[in-house]
Amino acid sequence: MSDRVSSGSERLNDMLGGGLPGNGINLIIGLPGSGKTILAQQYAFHNATPERPAIYLSTVSEPLEKILRYGQTLSFFDQRAVGTAVYYEDLGGTVNDEGLPGVLERISGFLKERRPGMIIIDSFKALHPYARRDEDFRRFLHELAGRLSAFPVTSFWVGEYGHDEIPGSAEFAVADSILSLSVERAAGGREYRVFQVLKLRGSGFLTGKHAYRLSDDGVQFFPRLADPVDQAPYVLENIKISSGIRILDEMLGQGYWPGASTLVAGPSGSGKTLMGLHFIFEGARSGEPGVIATLQENAAQLERIVNGFGWSLDEDGIELMYRTPVDLYLDEWVHELLERVEATGARRIVIDSLGDLRVASTDETRFREYVYSLLQRCSRQGVSVMMTQEVGDLFGVTRLSEFGISHISDNVVLLQFLRGESRVKRGITVMKTRASAHDAQIREFEITADGFVVGDHFAADQDLV
């Protein structure tokens, strides 16, 4: 088996089962502006050496000057490598003057003269009109594939193909791999860049749709979180951890199990964020660092809130990860979260809130898979997760969550507004604890300068609604 060709992106390599198989023919497809040329150049600059250079051949689509002008703005574009390890050549004149046979001759010439490790043809699709008949193009493909296969060279054919062209275009049958870059539209006019591996000979790969972004660093990938079922046993600690609220710990049977997931559901203003803060600051002060992953308040807003309860975001063991829900990519967010957890050695996470994340997801089933994979991954590492979820009903909660997350959470705590004795009261209930008994009564609580103060359960004569 040939060596793998690295893209320079560890995540992309992982999705491709370690990288593209070497010496193959690879198609990069997508509509204009999807990042095909950038990705191809990433491969070129990452792999090219003076001994085994990369040759970038532009055809009759985008002028070579333009490719170079925009290329040099990218961080991986090494000007010193141009002309020594990465060669840019224009095939436009050849294909105009000599047609497809001329293209074959020039490529043969490059193989002999430059002995490249990589050849990129951009745009490959633009060569189609130079074949008078379909069979002429097939003959050209056969010849080209034959020449490229006779030499240890990895090639990329870049083209503005849509998925609907795959069954009818011969190049897709010839290719060893097909990488697709596209844009999908979701409700509210949001657009998501989507990467897919449509074909990869001789290797497994991560199926499905993955997010990507274009930046000065090139194409950045965020593989969908879809952990396979891992049957390997793992050991969780058997000493429970505190929620940061003493009475709640008692209701839970002396706190949460380490590595457990907890859903805190309640209407707006019921105290969900504060419960998360108790959980995080309790951890930080007892040697369990935590990440506050919020899409609600920015650092200044949250600092003011936590100061009101005698905490500070500057305390040791507190990591704030704020992202605006505007233009949020769920895949990108979850990768950043996992990196923060690893970098800080966090043992606790608060996600505030699930509803904001759900808006960033194009598909409800995928959202559930995402949360499930994230919770499983955290559980195996002994990282405890608390998630807040807003419920629509201000009084008389009838549904816990809209996305089935309560089903996959180990613990569910419900915060409610209740009416009784001609006033609004706050009630807290432990609805579910996995692998432990709990107090199922509704207890009254108040929010004071010390945070949550949980009192007794409501008496039978309080006539609550």
Question: Which residues sit at the interface with another protein, rule CB under 8 A?
Answer: 23, 105, 108-109, 111-113, 115, 146-147, 149-153
Q: Output the smallest distance, CB 355 to another protein, in A.
A: 55
CA 366/CA 273 separation, integer angstroms:
25
Which secondary structure element, helix H or strand E, spans residue 45, and what is its range?
helix 36-47
CA 122/CA 95 separation, integer angstroms:
13
Query: To which residue do tokens 């150049």 refer?
Result: 41
DSSP 395: B
CA 402/CA 44 separation, integer angstroms:
46
Q: Which is nearer to another protein, 13 or 108 (CB)?
A: 108
Q: Output the smallest distance, CB 346 to another protein, in A.
A: 47
3-state secondary structure of 291: strand
CA 361/CA 190 separation, integer angstroms:
10
Q: Which is nearer to another protein, 22 or 267 (CB)?
A: 22
Q: Which is nearer to another protein, 109 or 310 (CB)?
A: 109
Q: Which is nearer to another protein, 152 or 382 (CB)?
A: 152
Q: Which is nearer to another protein, 71 or 117 (CB)?
A: 117
Whether omega for the bond prior to residue 242 falls within 30 degrees of 0, making it cis, is no
Q: Output the smallest distance, CB 121 to another protein, in A.
A: 17
CA 413/CA 159 separation, integer angstroms:
52
Q: Output the smallest distance, CB 51 to another protein, in A.
A: 8
CA 337/CA 333 separation, integer angstroms:
6
Q: Which is nearer to another protein, 23 or 406 (CB)?
A: 23
Q: Output the smallest distance, CB 433 to another protein, in A.
A: 57
End-to-end CA distance of the chain: 69
Q: Which is nearer to another protein, 138 or 368 (CB)?
A: 138
Tokens for 220, please give them. 């950045």
Identity (one letter) of the amino acid at 51? E
Complete edge-to-edge strand list for the sheet that includes strand 25-30: 86-90, 54-58, 118-122, 154-159, 25-30, 177-185, 191-200, 210-215, 218-222
CA 454/CA 425 separation, integer angstroms:
12
Q: Which is nearer to another protein, 150 or 236 (CB)?
A: 150
CA 336/CA 405 separation, integer angstroms:
21
All residues at 6 or more sequence positions from 417 whose CB lies less than 8 Å from its CB, including other chains: 267, 270, 394, 395, 424, 425, 426, 427
Q: Output the smallest distance, CB 166 to another protein, in A.
A: 27
Q: Output the smallest distance, CB 24 to another protein, in A.
A: 11
Q: Output the smallest distance, CB 55 to another protein, in A.
A: 15
Q: Which is nearer to another protein, 113 or 421 (CB)?
A: 113
Q: Output the smallest distance, CB 145 to another protein, in A.
A: 9
